[in-house]
Structure 1
Amino acid sequence: MSSYPARAVVDLAAIRSNVRSLAAHAPTAQVMAVVKADAYGHGLVPAATAAVAGGAAWLGAAQVPEALALRAAGIVGPRILTWLYAPGAPLREAIEADVDLSVATPWALGEVVAAARAAGRTARIHLKVDTGLGRNGLNATDYAALLPDALRAEAEGAVRLVGVWSHLAFADEPGHAVVRDQEVAFAAAVQLAEDAGARLEVRHLANSAATLTNPSIHYDLVRPGIAVYGLSPVPQLGGPDDFGLVPAMALEAPLVNVKAWPAGAGMSYAHQYVTERDTVLGVVPLGYADGVPRHASGTQSAPGGPLFVGGRWLGVAGRVCMDQVVVDLGPGATEQAGDRVVLFGTGADGGPTAQDWARAAGTISYEIVTRIGPRVPRVHIDTQADSEEQQ
């Protein structure tokens, strides 16, 4: 039991439910649950295990060590794809662990082939084509040039070309012209591979947003990330409830200090917040070292990130510090040290969500959950199992 005075509570039942909902949105495709970045801050192995239990046939891990950690934890059923590595990465270990590898640049194919020969096993590869994101992936010229090399390596038994994939630049704007252009470019890349003799198992383009809003590009496999954890990738189109999702994480801490504070007195660094009347202050032991955005600090006229205290919406008062924030509880407040403060949760109790914090910080919900620091314990619960035990 951790003695750290804050915790991120992660409901594994929500993750299972979210994967089932995503599968229902894409009934013709398999689901790859993306668990990169410690499962978006939710805990790599517990979240991945829950996603598989919810029906995910694939797991996506950006980094090779993440993929290896999944296999080392005994997750052997689903296929795992990893895609972001530098020259010299432990590709042999990945191949020996039965991890699929993305090839997104010409040098990568050579390293994968060498690693496969060293392992004495055929490497499963997915060619990543850059259809317009301008990030990682083969441009059209390199893709056309590398495809024959990949098929020759397949004929030699070094690799098996199992997939072609890409990533959208404007998936959260389904009608954007760039999305349509990327759809066309991806279809052409797939056709080129198949015309060259590739026997593809999966073609995949859809992330969370496209899984929920663009069924025309579901292909054989969809790759939801943030939606697995119950957050909407398109908040301007709908919240979690609108897509059958349940936020899986709640961030909470107890008040550690409650004290009277006079009118006209500043609080926290630089006295950015000055009390307008006699009031009561509370101290919450979470700060920017724990992932609370410093740019969600507050003033009297613009309260900071939302805090849910005793059923009331309040805001961070003053600067977010490294380890703590202050909340103005108001005159006559009855809260005491030890009372629970929720920064974000499901919102079902009327409290704030990660999306509310995203608005307060001028960012996206992805960043809010993934930035929760490693010193904050992840407490994994299973509300469905608890409910069944009580029946």
Structure 2
Amino acid sequence: MNDPSRPVLPAEAEVDLRAISANVASLTRHAPSAEVMAVVKADAYGHGLEPSARAARAGGATWLGVAQIAEALRLRAAGDTGRVLSWLHVPGDAFTDAVAADVDLSANATWGVDEIAAAARAAGRTARVHLKIDTGLSRAGASADDWPALVDHALTAQADGLLEVVGIWSHLAWADDPKHPTTDRQAEAFEAALDVAHARGARPEVRHLANSAAALTRPDLHYDLVRPGLAVYGLSPVPDLGGPADFGLRPAMTLRARLALVKQVPAGSGVSYGHAYTTPRATTLGLVPLGYGDGVPRAAGNCGPIWVAGRRHTIAGRVSMDQVVVDLDGRPDVAEVRAGDLVVLFGDGRDGQPTAQDWAEAVDTISYEIVTRIGSRVPRTYLDAGS
């Protein structure tokens, strides 16, 4: 029964924290020789930073990973005291706050080492630093030519007692294809970088390279720590090789809404802006109060799947800022559909409901983007062990 003391939500993203914990536990079994860093950047891929982090810890994550220092400080403010790594910074960032909060920091260049060392001096404590080598992604990380100088610079600051080089790491470009030669070349470059660092005196606690895909499919790349992101939330990083269940994962987010209107229209009715869809017959239309302002891809017009009345339907016409329309086909079994009925845009796929992967394929993107782009206007509701 509905709780009369609570307003009915037009739409919600329900996050099953039990699934997140179970997914992390499954990942620890996939990488038994390594620790697990649950990546909770970007508001935990849209699932909610603090509750998702707690669920990941409960599932066995000994580390948490974020991009920005502000995300790491939110975790500390929420009471997380375990290891947290932040890796995407700019000159003048909040390094002092991060060091004071015992947040591990990544350095890609000597300027980063200098700013972290200055922050350590200001905070009055030794900073924990992970040096990043670019092994072929050509994004963050020192180039092979710059790597020796970065290592030497960091070890000088370590000798001064300002920081400790606790990690060496890199990121993979093509791990969603486990047999792609790029991954092997990156592994070779990573080994070479480790050799250079070791020869210069670095003795890191952790070496880490594997993302979700490599954590699941490349045990040779697990090293001391794996960094799953998407898999933490129960989505497959290698959909061509298998769905979530094939890897012991369960999608944690279900995006649902309540129909705002159900009405009959005649054949030939133009639907939504530009009449990109015209009803081929007399039919029933349902109005769903979610649009691109909530993170529904505008490209999902005439192709985004929605579960209504026990079967899949497709968005009719363009996606608007706040709403989409679905053609219910005028079939007899939808005659009882009413405003207020629940519909599902994506979930765990049980009983044939659409998944985030289905949406990704419909709009030619990846499931990462589907869940991460769900906006703040959509309330997150949580299921936990007490639910």
| 1:338 is aligned to 2:340 | yes
| Contact persistence 2:110–2:153 (CA under 8 A) | no
Task: Give the corresponding residue for 2:259.
Answer: 255
| 1:209 is aligned to 2:213 | yes
Distance in 2 (alpha carbons) for counterparts of 1:221 and 1:193: 18
Task: Give the corresponding residue for 1:301.
Answer: none
Distance in 1 (alpha carbons) for counterparts of 2:254 and 2:102: 34
| 1:46 is aligned to 2:51 | yes
Distance in 1 (alpha carbons) for counterparts of 2:283 and 2:290: 22
Q: Number of residues paired by the alignment? A: 379
Question: Once the two structures are superposed, what CA deviation does each residue of 1:272-319 show, in whole Å capped at 9, x if it has no partner?
Answer: 100111001000000000000010100xxxxx1100011110010100
| Contact persistence 1:208–1:233 (CA under 8 A) | yes
| Contact persistence 1:258–1:283 (CA under 8 A) | yes
| 1:30 is aligned to 2:35 | yes
Question: Once the two structures are superposed, what CA deviation does each residue of 1:237-273 show, in whole Å capped at 9, x if it has no partner?
Answer: 0000000000000000000100011001111000010
Distance in 2 (alpha carbons) for counterparts of 1:198 and 1:348: 49
Per the alignment, in what secondary structure is the counterpart of residue 386 of structure 2? helix
| Contact persistence 1:287–1:321 (CA under 8 A) | yes
| 1:128 is aligned to 2:132 | yes
- The CA deviation at 1:198 is 1.2
| 1:280 is aligned to 2:287 | no
1:315 partner letter? T
Kindly report which structure 2 residues correspond to 1:1-391, keeping only aligned pairs within 5 A, or say none.
Answer: 4-76=9-81, 78-298=82-302, 304-331=303-330, 332=332, 333-334=334-335, 335-382=337-384, 384-386=385-387
Task: Give the corresponding residue for 1:389.
Answer: none
Larger deviation: 227-236 or 194-203? 194-203
Distance in 2 (alpha carbons) for counterparts of 1:328 and 1:198: 62
2:304 partner letter? G
Distance in 1 (alpha carbons) for counterparts of 2:146 and 2:87: 17
Question: Once the two structures are superposed, what CA deviation does each residue of 1:116-155 show, in whole Å capped at 9, x if it has no partner?
Answer: 1111110000000000001011101111111111111111
Per the alignment, in what secondary structure is the counterpart of residue 113 of structure 2? helix
Question: Once the two structures are superposed, what CA deviation does each residue of 1:32-81 show, in whole Å capped at 9, x if it has no partner?
Answer: 000000000000000000000000000001000000000000011x2000
Distance in 2 (alpha carbons) for counterparts of 1:142 and 1:108: 13
| Contact persistence 1:151–1:198 (CA under 8 A) | yes
| Contact persistence 1:2–1:377 (CA under 8 A) | no
Distance in 2 (alpha carbons) for counterparts of 1:174 and 1:188: 21
2:36 partner letter? V
Distance in 1 (alpha carbons) for counterparts of 2:161 and 2:80: 26
- The CA deviation at 1:2 is 6.3
Per the alignment, in what secondary structure is the counterpart of residue 314 of structure 1? strand
1:18 partner letter? N
Distance in 1 (alpha carbons) for counterparts of 2:349 and 2:121: 52
Per the alignment, in what secondary structure is the counterpart of residue 136 of structure 2? coil
Distance in 1 (alpha carbons) for counterparts of 2:366 and 2:160: 46
- The CA deviation at 1:214 is 0.2
Distance in 1 (alpha carbons) for counterparts of 2:199 and 2:53: 36
- The CA deviation at 1:106 is 2.2
Distance in 1 (alpha carbons) for counterparts of 2:201 and 2:62: 26
Distance in 1 (alpha carbons) for counterparts of 2:98 and 2:9: 35
Distance in 2 (alpha carbons) for counterparts of 1:211 and 1:284: 38
Per the alignment, in what secondary structure is the counterpart of residue 370 of structure 2? helix
Specify every segment of 5 or more residues in structure 2 that has no aligned partner in the other structure, as ranges.
1-5
| Contact persistence 1:257–1:282 (CA under 8 A) | yes
- The CA deviation at 1:4 is 4.5
Distance in 2 (alpha carbons) for counterparts of 1:83 and 1:44: 16
1:385 partner letter? G
- The CA deviation at 1:349 is 2.3
Per the alignment, in what secondary structure is the counterpart of residue 242 of structure 1? helix
| Contact persistence 2:306–2:354 (CA under 8 A) | yes
Specify every segment of 5 or more residues in structure 1 that has no aligned partner in the other structure, as ranges.
299-303, 387-391
Runs ≥4 in structure 1, deviation > 4 angstroms? Answer: 1-4
1:296 partner letter? A
| Contact persistence 2:14–2:253 (CA under 8 A) | yes
| Contact persistence 2:284–2:328 (CA under 8 A) | yes
Question: Once the two structures are superposed, what CA deviation does each residue of 1:169-196 show, in whole Å capped at 9, x if it has no partner?
Answer: 1010111111110000001111211221
Distance in 2 (alpha carbons) for counterparts of 1:21 and 1:375: 32
| Contact persistence 1:106–1:142 (CA under 8 A) | no
Percent pairwise identity? 63
Distance in 1 (alpha carbons) for counterparts of 2:91 and 2:272: 46
Distance in 2 (alpha carbons) for counterparts of 1:51 and 1:381: 14
